[in-house]
Structure 1
């Protein structure tokens, strides 16, 4: 925990931080009676958002309404506190997702026991008039006496009172119901469908609808029968009715419990490797509470051998819980319910588009030393913008003919429909939303910046476009932040200082931004906007907190005569890496404004011309440059030296989250590359 953190929240003494996300943190605490709790705390900037506070208050009400042996009960909350918080019973056990990944699929008897426990939990949830809406293995914790269902942050009343903003695809694609994937009404029957998919995953190790990409998975959920290969007959009999495409054909939890039948009592209900995994998690928690204790736990099966949970030699009240999957399960489950999407949009009914194999070139391109060619896609005209889905499984391409099309990266299959054509100018690259189902584009038209959302599968526009008046004096075309949640632009006539403007697309409103300067871009997580301004021949780089609408610390000042060409953030946005037009790479501590290591000068090829574009690889190990002659070079940032020969005839490029590089040139081909090995 941080030294500035409070020692207490409400009646709970805080012991460790379990994790954090974009909207809040989860802390390990203990009550006056010594009972451990998981305390969910909202980030301070959201505590002042009345809409967010109202949603949090509703979440507290929903959690309190649900009780039963198979949920993690709420034991305290104060949604009206200066910083709202919620405390629930702490469950020291792995998630079902981690259990499957560690010990593999469960045997038939354990799967039926799991199904009975989860069905009982659904009966309690639905009995409270709620629908969970995100029933998945990561939201199920495994304990010695049965499963626990967690995360009620995105539940809704069964009569339709939403706890999240409209337009956001709530749920996890591999485990959501067809009506949920289609953006239709979500009823208790939707949870039953998800339950069936979770039980299949427990029996086989994977969802019965998993595809090569998020969009392919959604298409499978809506249009294909479940893959039940390897599911035992006794389990198949239970799950098949749950996975009916029509909600009215699925059983209720009560009917499902009757079908499962009586489960025999057992002091150790799971296979031995699962109990050993539970013991391992309990030992890690005990090590936080009692540093230095002998916490040796022998784990058989996968992984093999013995695991010793090493004690940490730090003060107990300032400890981090080890980054095990227990923490991941709890934190991911709690924080997923805090993700927002623009209000004022309505989900479309997305039907899977036809799947076709794009034409490929008949000629075999020459290999490029250093780069490894992974594949090639043939488009309809030269590409002008590229964008990957958050999981990197889908590539969306905007073409010169003002249309947009998407393909799966793994097999080059077309996804959904052709989108467009678009009108206006200043058309930016496609930007996927967080669930990978929708792409946003921004364009300028008659003095307006227009942001449109498009459903990739159906090719239909979603909701009402967001329109911001920018005038005719646009210095830097409007750009969308990651996830398409924010937008920034540089405006103003050249006879005056440039001004920065920013918009919250989720709230459909303008937000505070630096008064003057030029927009350079967003951090990868979208939380920080970098703005540049020249003051007395020195280039000042200011970080701007997008959510809070305020400046972050003092500016970073580049040496005289250096101007920014490219940047990236590292170490949770605490380190800013800059490339200047003079070819100098520098690493800056954003708190002190000082350089943290010796600068590196990148090697350039005089025959390739000046650098037109530069981008850092997601892991920060390579800088990829695109010159005015169309040469793309990967430069090792540690040495400044090129790694292999350049790729030629390129006009546009983009990185996938895993570091895959997509390039396109003046022909119709889009190539996928792996960066040179280090």
Structure 2
């Protein structure tokens, strides 16, 4: 097994590096062994941040805050060097899952376990506040479930109670997690220890029900619920409800202190297993994996966990990602809304298992971006530096692919008539502008957005017509306007630049897609008479000459094309049809090349990796299985993944992105 991205150092301070666990918000997270044999989690700052004086100061602040807090329910910092060329800190290694992982994988905790959790978190807050600090980001992913109780982690945005310095993030940004922050935090008001008590109440409710008592369909709705609405405590046991309800008071003065709350909780009987048996099973599995790792011969560090490192709330992506050629599926949004994902719980279980265990021959999760609505689409910038997650509520979040932090403001919600649907999106070549295409009652609306500010650039371009396609650089729009006639528009210039006609007057082209260079466009004709025999054919047209080029690509008799896409270099066309077979066509000669791949069902999406070695497919079924195939021999690589809505390859073929109904965009490492 080999490390993620660039070479992992063999030594950090006095600690020998044993494995790479993943990525944290400020840097990579490594598993280290001290001279005395003790295991530690090493947070190593990204090299590009080490030279930033402001960033280094914030890291020093985290070190100071973490050192100031000690106790049974925090993961203590045991060593650090914020002044090193590459700053680092070492904390106690906790091989337990986060509370977020546990409730997503196994469901809510039992009443007794939730009570133990509340007692542990309350004790942790007493220790934090006693040090004169406010955590400000207490949430399920920042709570680890160790075998003897909870651990509060991640003091990256902790603040001194009397600290009146400017916020550590950009002006106007919220610091914290909307579903678990306090009303005063959501309003940007002064933060006191009472804010952590509010967050504690929300975390305990989530442990009992699986979600925050204020979760809404969008981030804005969630924040409105936090500041205005009563908490949803349905499903919370009466004993727990009695404890958390005072914590969730809107007025900080009405909330109990942690000491008062601990008195209300009362005596907790000692236990060797504070959590349900299934949680201890996860802990045991991680210890077993560590035992296997530690018995290996010394050598190159091993990737143990690429998604949810035990000592960080979220693992960050290592290698940059970029866009692969999109696959066009007619009426994707409408179809997606009709698909019932019956295996959602199973998919979550699988995701967490994959977060710890490396698939020797498959995908390994290396990072994720969590949102507040279903993810409909993922789009990478052309240089791979940023990722756009298109949400079901018609908002778009753009994140840095290395830190997974939002790079600007939320885009949208998109305006327009009749609940617009985002059908397509693409970054400008410099990554500063995001172009979106949405279907509205009045036609197709093309909007341009400033990625950093989230502001709309100019007025929308409204084109009357039907099915549309956007070029990968966002510069061209193709739209079906009539039978056998497709218009091509210059988006920035807001003018029509071409009109492509079909090969026969009795056919019309639908479901278009541009070649990667935007010079050609492919359409699938069907017969106006209604027999749809033309679905067997794909016609390539040259945008410049506005005429079909070369001969038609014809599917085998009795087969209809359902999915098709260009390879990232534009040389191949990948098709899938009703015969459950993926075929590869040479664009220049219109003939089949490579051995077809037989798939176990109708496909919703297919994409070829930029290096041409791997094929990714998503099946059109209630479970929406994603499979990775070896193009050379047509064999599946590793297990399948369920619950995938959309997916895309990075341009270097090393990273793969999936969008799911669990409000999360996941990134995976592709085997070499």
TM-score by length of 2: 0.53
Gapped regions of structure 1 (runs ≥ 5): 292-313, 337-366, 377-387, 397-407, 416-429, 436-450, 460-475, 484-502, 507-519, 523-564, 568-577, 585-601, 612-620, 626-632, 646-656, 662-673
In structure 2, how many angstroms separate the alpha carbons of the residues matched to 1:223 and 1:623? 47
The question of 1:100 aligning with 2:109 is answered no
1:144 partnered with 2:118 = no
Q: Deviations over 1:177-224 (max 9, x none)?
A: 122223332221111111001111111222112222333222222221
Matches within 5 A, 1:458-473: none
Match of 2:432 among 480, 500, 514: 480
Pair 1:39 & 2:20 matched: no
Alpha-carbon separation, structure 1, partners of 2:451 and 2:294? 42
Aligned to 2:22: 19
| Alpha-carbon separation, structure 1, partners of 2:410 and 2:398 | 10
Equivalent-residue separation in structure 2 for 1:658 and 1:183 (angstroms): 35
After the TM superposition, which residues 258-269 of structure 1 pair with which residues of structure 2 at under 5 Å, given as runs?
Answer: 258-269=263-274
- Where does residue 189 of structure 1 map in the other structure? 194
Q: Are 2:640 and 1:659 equivalent residues in the alignment?
A: no
Of 268, 280, 297, 2:285 maps to 280
Whether contact under 8 Å (1:392, 1:658) holds in the other structure is no
Q: How does 1:25-424 map to 2 (within 5 A)?
A: 25-159=28-162, 160-161=164-165, 162-291=167-296, 317-323=300-306, 327-333=308-314, 372-373=334-335, 393=374
Q: Deviations over 1:461-494 (max 9, x none)?
A: xxxxxxxxxxxxxxx99862689xxxxxxxxxxx
The whole-number CA distance in structure 2 between the counterparts of 1:37 and 1:480 is 40
Q: CA deviation at 1:393?
A: 4.4
Q: 1:391 to 1:638 in 2, by over 3 A?
A: farther
Give, in whole Å, the separation in 2 of the partners of 1:261 and 1:109: 12
Residue 321 of structure 2 corresponds to none
Q: CA–CA distance in 1 between the matches of 2:249 and 2:195?
A: 10
Counterparts of 1:176 and 1:370, CA distance in 2: 35
How has the CA–CA distance of structure 1 residues 482 and 30 changed in structure 2, closer, same or farther, with 3 Å as cutoff?
farther
Name which structure has the greater RCO, CA cutoff 8 Å, separation 6+.
2
Structure 1 residues 14, 638: CA separation in 2 closer, same or farther (over 3 Å shift)? farther
SS at match of 1:87: strand
SS of the aligned residue for 1:69 comes to coil
- With over 3 angstroms needed to count, the CA separation of the structure-2 counterparts of 1:122 and 1:456, relative to structure 1, is farther
Aligned 8 A contact 1:238 1:259 in 2: yes
In structure 2, C-alpha distance between the alignment counterparts of 1:454 and 1:504, rounded to whole Å: 9
Q: Deviations over 1:236-274 (max 9, x none)?
A: 110000111121211111111111111112222222222
C-alpha distance in structure 2 between counterparts of 1:79 and 1:45, whole Å: 15
**Compared with structure 1, are the counterparts of its residues 605 and 45 closer, same or farther at alpha carbon in structure 2 (3 Å cutoff)?**
same
Displacement after TM superposition at 1:101 (Å):
2.2
Count how many residue pairs are aligned between Structure 1 and Structure 2. 412
Are 1:38 and 1:88, in contact at CA under 8 Å, matched by a contact in 2? Answer: yes
Q: Secondary structure at the match of 1:133?
A: coil
Query: Are 2:24 and 2:314, in contact at CA under 8 Å, matched by a contact in 1?
Result: no
CA offsets 1:390-413 (integer angstroms, 9 cap, x no match): 6664999xxxxxxxxxxx965x7x
Q: 1:191 and 1:139 mapped to 2: Cα distance?
A: 13
Provide Cα deviations, 1:415-448, integer angstroms capped at 9, x if missing partner: 9xxxxxxxxxxxxxx864559xxxxxxxxxxxxx
The question of whether the paired residues in 2 share the 8 Å contact of 1:390 and 1:434 is answered with no
Instruction: Indicate conservation of the 8 Å contact 1:29/1:37, yes or no.
Output: yes
Kept in 2: contact 1:634–1:644 (CA 8 A): no
Cα separation, partners in 2 of 1:92 and 1:260, compared to 1, 3 Å = same
RMSD: 4.6
| Cα distance in structure 1, aligned partners of 2:114 and 2:370 | 33
**How many angstroms does 1:453 deviate by?**
5.8
Gaps of 5+ in 2: 318-328, 339-368, 378-389, 401-406, 416-427, 436-449, 454-471, 475-512, 523-536, 549-562, 568-572, 577-581, 591-601, 605-643, 649-660, 662-672
State the TM-score, normalizing by the size of structure 1. Answer: 0.52
**Offset at residue 109 of structure 1 (A):** 1.5
